Structure 1
């Protein structure tokens, strides 16, 4: 089993599905509303714990010479996996249980969500136990026996959770893409290429571009084609005077422009095969949102998340009008 460095996946879950209701015209059915609530609960859980769990995992294995073999007891610096803020943990408990019971069922999504919730609960019980052990420095009083005995079950639970996260991520991606395609058809048929149409289209195409470039060796030819299409989409929205005079649309437009810029930088960096300096690598490993190296997948992901944030704000402001 490999315990290589892992990063949280770029998920459909990053983009909260507020768009499902906010951009639709007319009242929806009870089933539609519950369907949105169900998926939003799955997304809220995923968004709440996925990244902190990955970060805690890196913290835990970072001081071990061989994470697969586990701690030896001879390490100079040791760290537990750390805990997750309680309100994030809560998002994967009662709300998830309630969402799983909602009807109608989602056969392509519910099993993945159920397994994700179960593996998180199982993993987090071990994380809390390990964190208390390391925080109390109990290893200094038991000849490091607890370090060794806890390691294998903890790592097995981590791997189960990561696999469940990958499966839920894929299921959410598929559902979001299908729903987005349906929305675009509905909106274009009823009101043409309106602001709502461009909002959904820009967010979806921006996500696809980010996904393509969020790997170590992206297909640059495909990436250039998608970037050109994304730039053309943004230009068409400007030519159509979409959102003219709307301050929130202006924020979304600027976020989309930044995403296009950072996608171009990512393509250029991969093409030039420019290695990261030691200081750039440290910035990436810190997991922060700011000062990520130009052309890095991390910088592009920050730009995409900013676009998502602006889109959600625009949806909320539109719904309040």
Structure 2
């Protein structure tokens, strides 16, 4: 992963992304209160679908970035071809104990629940297996490097284990992309149906505006932080995603300027904090937008050496942006997104 996998701490990267795909009606990030009209069969089907998706979503958002970050960390010390034996240090990250087992258990629980989806279920099983494999290797090698045992065996184990590590990371990267792509194919249309349901039940008011901002923020963070081996950034996609976020946030703010007193009604589930929660949501969304715009400028000013034949941008070759390393600018987008999502989860206002 391009942006999140450089130097972002695991906890920071995951906390924000935990609800990245979640659309469950009763979740903190759903922005959907109890239905005010009779649910349609499609609404009921969507709720059942989300119940199934939740476990897959938890796996992706709990394990994906830390595993990619571990690989990035390792390769900052060790050449892709393997240790030369002249390295003075090496490091990688390990996952929290039990994280992959929890993912596997969740995938197992979700598989038999309706609706049946062989593609999703197969992608989930491979994801869990690939995560468990690399988890075991990372834990073993983290101990090796943390205790600096390479000094005792003159890098013998480091050299022997390198091909296994790289193969396991490659397997996980493919599984991660496959599951992301599968979930995207399901959750993106689902999110639009949820948005349409909000509009049908409540109109284009606060609930609608909040959900629209969350959807466009998700699209933007995905454009800034591609998943898989091809983690170069598409500047055109990023620009389009940024424009959509800006438009959605402007529309929410415009509505809020005229209707903010409506948030103070005692029938609002978030009363009496709804108005201040709205202010926090808008402020953090604005901070995320600012960081995203700084990164947009960085991409626009990319030197020729950073541009791939397909027109994408290789972050590793981007150099500096306004005097700072490009990865820091990319990292800022992810960190601000995470703060925004945490705020959204904890401070509902519709």
TM-score range, shorter chain: 0.7 to 0.9
2:324 aligned to 269, 280, 283, which one? 280
Residue 195 of structure 1 is matched in structure 2 by: 206
- Which ranges of structure 2 fall in alignment gaps of 5 or more residues? 7-12, 27-31, 226-231, 265-273, 304-318
* CA offset digits 1:264-306 (Å, max 9, x no partner): 333333334595279833x94xxxxxxx4xxx23222222222
Cα distance, 1:141 vs structure 2: 3.6
> Which of 250, 255, 259 is 1:232 aligned to?
250
CA distance in 2 between counterparts of 1:264 and 1:78 reads 35
More displaced 10-residue stretch of structure 1: 302-311 or 18-27: 18-27
- Structural mapping, 1:127-276, within 5 Å: 127-214=138-225, 216=233, 218-219=235-236, 222=240, 225-226=243-244, 228-241=246-259, 244-245=263-264, 246=274, 247-273=276-302, 275-276=319-320
Higher relative contact order (CA 8 A, sep 6+): 2
Give the structure-1-normalised TM-score. 0.78
Judge conservation of contact 2:206–2:256 (CA < 8 Å) in 1: no
Q: Secondary structure at the match of 1:105?
A: coil
CA offset at residue 32 of structure 1? 5.7
**CA 1:102–1:93 in structure 2 vs 1: closer, same or farther (change >3 Å)?**
same
Cα distance change of structure 1 residues 223 and 46 upon mapping to structure 2, 3 Å threshold: closer
Deviations 1:231-287 (A, max 9, x none): 432333324525634122222121222233233333333334595279833x94xxx
**Which residue number in structure 1 is paired with residue 77 of structure 2?**
63
Aligned counterparts of 1:222 and 1:31: Cα–Cα separation in 2: 31
Distance 1:91 1:37, change over 3 A: farther
**Cα displacement (A) at 1:217:** 5.3
Give the Å deviation of 1:157: 0.5
Corresponding residue to 1:25 among 34, 47, 66: 34
Q: Indicate if the aligned counterparts of 1:63 and 1:78 stay in contact, CA closer than 8 A.
A: yes
Task: Select between 91-100 and 221-230 the one with higher mean Cα deviation.
Answer: 221-230
Distance 1:106 1:255, change over 3 A: farther
Output the CA distance in 2 between the equivalents of 1:17 and 1:216. 20
Instruction: Give yes or no for the alignment of 1:307 onto 2:340.
Output: yes
Cα separation, 1, equivalents of 2:250 and 2:299: 23
What is the TM-score of this pair, normalised by structure 2?
A: 0.72
* Deviates further, 4-13 or 237-246: 4-13
Q: 1:76 aligns to what? A: 88
Count the aligned residue pairs: 300
Distance 1:228 1:140 in 2: 53
* Structure 1 pair 90–256 and aligned structure 2 pair: CA distance change class (3 A): same
Query: Which residue of the partner structure matches residue 288 of structure 1?
Result: none
Q: Show the counterpart of 1:53.
A: 67
Alignment check: 8 A CA contact 1:217 1:270 kept: no
In 2, distance between residues paired with 1:309 and 1:6? 19
Give the root-mean-square deviation of aligned CA atoms. Answer: 3.5
- Cα deviation, residue 77, structure 1: 1.9
Change (3 A) 1:235 1:264: same
